[in-house]
Amino acid sequence: MNWELFSIIGTIAFAVSGAIVAMEEEYDILGVYVLGLVTAFGGGVIRNLLIGKPVVLLWEQGLYFQIALFAMTLVFLMPVKYIRVWKTWEAFFDAIGLAAFSIQGAFYATNMGHPLSAVIVAAVLTGIGGGMVRDVLAGRKPLVLKDEIYAVWGMLAGALVGLGWSQGAWQISVLFALIVILRMLSVFYKWKLPKRSLRNAIVGSTRRSDS
């Protein structure tokens, strides 16, 4: 299993995602780079803070930084028609990034001897943390907490790694494929978690009390 290849694909997918969000919000080129880098590396930084790994490890990822910067520059210069083509495949590449980063985060935590709960948190934050920070910086509600089943698949990856069910190379490969497939199924069938909105009830109650 070429883990480095999947990490590169995930880095590109997340960096380009952040860059496109920045352009949709009409940010300048600095905003494009900031949102792209935050999306690609923000989850790992938050994870390191929580599980006790040095944050400075981020600066050792020189190759990934270069790849992310190249991808963001390319998408910034790319004609809109090609960006539309990318967006049709965005969910698939994003699923690869989610699977690779979630499993990576889970193994970071297990190798440090952390309990299952910390392994799950590390997996989720590595997989979705950057996207959440990106949405906040873009003035959006984090989509992973609102519209899609996304974080759940990161939690599943963390749980399976933390329980010791993914120790061998073939088991990790199966887990990786499982997360990608589940993510794509949730996109295709528009799976959503149950939610309850109080907005209409509160607004209606306020209007009745005012009248």
pLDDT in tens, 58-86: 888 889 999 999 999 999 999 999 999 88
109 and 122 in contact (C-beta within 8 Å)?
yes
User: Is-contact 183 98, C-beta < 8 A?
Assistant: yes
Average pLDDT taken over every residue of the chain? 89
208: confidence class by pLDDT, cuts 50, 70, 90: low
- Beta carbons within 10 angstroms of residue 137's beta carbon: 19
Q: How far apart are CA 194 and CA 200, in angstroms?
A: 17
Of 14, 13, 58, 43, the residue nearest 130 (C-alpha):
43
**Per-residue pLDDT tens digits for 123-162:** 999 999 999 999 999 999 887 887 678 899 999 999 999 9
Residue 97 near residue 9, CB atoms below 8 Å? yes
Alpha-carbon distance of 87 to 17, in angstroms, equals: 9
Question: Do 98 and 131 touch, CB atoms closer than 8 A?
Answer: no
pTM exceeds 0.85, yes or no: yes
Is residue 180 pLDDT above 90, yes or no?
yes
pLDDT digits (tens, 9 = 90+) for 164-175: 987 788 888 899
> SS3 for the chain, per residue?
CCHHHHHHHHHHHHHHHHHHHHHHCCCCHHHHHHHHHHHHHHHHHHHHHHHCCCHHHHHHCHHHHHHHHHHHHHHHHCCHHHHHHHHHHHHHHHHHHHHHHHHHHHHHHHHCCCCHHHHHHHHHHHHHHHHHHHHHHCCCCCHHHCCCCCHHHHHHHHHHHHCCCCCCHHHHHHHHHHHHHHHHHHHHCCCCCCCCCCHHHHHHHHHHHHC
